[in-house]
């Protein structure tokens, strides 16, 4: 029964990492393919030094996505994506600035969606990539090496 639980945990954490990475990979592709118009939009929204900020955003997205997909340095990757998400949410879903009720509601929904994604990223940062990740494989090998190197204690009779 424990083996089934381990397999399920591996599959579920891998699927979760891939699903979260897909959201951010799509955002990264959009920013790369529409660099100039994205930088112009960022300037319009009040992002300081928009082209530099956009390069930084793409870097965070690239590091975070690769990290989650591979499960390598997963906690760091999740925090990179969380940093990107926090800045994007603050600048682009600032519902408190809207007077129009329809726009305010739309931006509130987007803000809350990002809050939920941020919660998922915090969970990944807290618990890591799971057993089906490079991080999990390294931890397993370290545990095996630790138990193999410990001397066996035998009782004297």
- pLDDT single digits (tens) 3-30: 898 899 999 999 999 999 999 999 999 9
Cβ(100)–Cβ(154) below 8 Å: no
Instruction: Indicate the pLDDT class of residue 155, thresholds 50, 70 and 90.
Output: low
108 CB neighbour count, 10 Å cutoff: 14
In the chain, where are the structural domains located? 2-148
User: Is a pLDDT exceeding 90 seen at residue 1?
Assistant: no
pTM, two decimals, is 0.89
The one-character DSSP state at 129 is: S
């Amino acid at each position: 029964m424990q083996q089934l639980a381990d397999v399920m945990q591996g599959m579920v954490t891998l699927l979760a990492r891939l699903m979260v990475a897909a959201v951010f990979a799509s955002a990264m592709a959009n920013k790369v393919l529409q660099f100039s118009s994205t930088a112009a939009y960022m300037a319009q929204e009040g992002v300081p030094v928009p082209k530099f900020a956009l390069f930084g955003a793409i870097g965070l997205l690239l590091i975070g996505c690769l990290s989650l997909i591979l499960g390598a340095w997963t906690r760091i990757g999740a925090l990179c994506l969380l940093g990107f998400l926090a800045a994007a949410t603050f600048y682009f879903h600032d519902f408190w600035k809207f007077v129009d009720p329809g726009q305010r509601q739309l931006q509130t929904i987007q803000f809350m969606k990002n809050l939920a994604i941020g919660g998922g990223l915090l969970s990944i940062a807290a618990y890591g990539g799971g057993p089906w990740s490079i991080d999990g494989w390294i931890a397993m090998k370290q545990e095996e090496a630790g138990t193999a190197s410990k001397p066996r204690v035998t009782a004297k009779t």
